[in-house]
Amino acid sequence: SDDRVYVLGEDIVDPYGGAFKVTKGLSSRFPERVLATPISEAAIVGMASGMALRGLRPIAEIMFGDFIALAADQLINHAAKFRWMYNEQVRVPLVVRTPSGGRRGYGPTHSQSLEKHLLGVPGMWVVAPHLLGDPGALLRQATLDCDDPVLFVESKLCYGRALVDSVEGMNGEVLGGGDTFATTYLRHGGARAGSDGLIFCYGGMTPLGIDAVLRLRDVEGLNLDLAVLSQLSPLPREHIETVLASSQPGVCVYVEEAAVEAGWSAEMTACVEELRAAASRPAIRHLRIGSKATPVPSSRELEARSLPQADDIVDAVVDCF
């Protein structure tokens, strides 16, 4: 819809249409603006950064999120810094799309969730679509409305799943506005409204969060609210404060597919504690749920044991009561 938008990456043109078929049909409709590239993630992101500097709005695809490390120099030391290095004379409206996570049996070098290594980079956004939101609207916002580089992390688990408009027995609210990317907040309604706790998650962990919330309610009699963040970095502190003020949780659970050490859940825990202390709210018990601190196995059975499951969330919460 915008002549400034180009898409570039490995094997994205028809008839292949990308490893996960996200770009299938696009090169046939826009042959001059969908570009196949050599197998070089640094070159893909470097070229896209140059295009952005010249006024275009490129979308670069990295075939697997595991390979984002090969483009880290271009993102961290170049695209994210040019705005300041050139005294606000240039901007880099670049989107880097990449599929992340496991549960497909792809093994240790094609199943990781490496986005945690790029959180907190000044000048760069990290965004993760999910099935409770509108992935297309998020991608449009990242491409056309954000003038800084955006790492757009897509869960392989969600590619084949339908979007969810609502969750039975819960009231939904979308927090947004300004330059921030949306947060979806679900609260319990009905005869026993009110919160026994709060689950934060993102991306591919959203189905697990929904499953855990429903099982905790229907089996254990516990009402936990669910907040699904799209914006992982910088953290949307105003959204988080709104959710905390509404839920008033005694227990906060943070679910990510990567190992929790020095990850998104650690930063979320710190943020929630800072907001809680500033508002003089009662103490919160924090639970971090993530993968085992090992490479992701190729064996499907071992992979399932390695990665977080809804059972892990339910068991951790039940142990608090």
Tens-place pLDDT, residues 143-195: 999 999 999 999 998 898 999 999 999 999 999 977 899 999 999 876 566 79
Residue 65 and residue 61: Cα distance in Å, rounded? 10
**pTM, whole model, 2 decimals?**
0.97
If you search the block for the tokens 């271009």, which residue do you land on? 74
pLDDT score of 291 more than 80: yes
Tell me: the pLDDT tens digits for 88-134? 999 999 999 999 999 999 999 999 999 999 999 999 999 999 999 89
**Annotated catalytic residue 78:** no
Rounded average pLDDT over 287-305 = 97
Residue burial 106-133, b: 16+ Cβ < 10 Å; e: rest = bbeebbbbbbbbbbebebbbbbbbbbbb
Distance in angstroms (rounded) separating the CA atoms of residues 214 and 223: 9
CA atoms of 134 and 214, how far apart (whole Å)? 22
Residue type, 316: A
- What is the rounded average pLDDT for all residues in the chain? 96
Local structure of residue 144 (DSSP, 8 states): I
Catalytic option among 110, 130, 188, 239: 110
**Residue 177's pLDDT is what?**
75
Residue 162: its H or E element: none
Instruction: Identify any residues that bridge with 106 across adjacent strands, giving them in sequence order.
Output: none
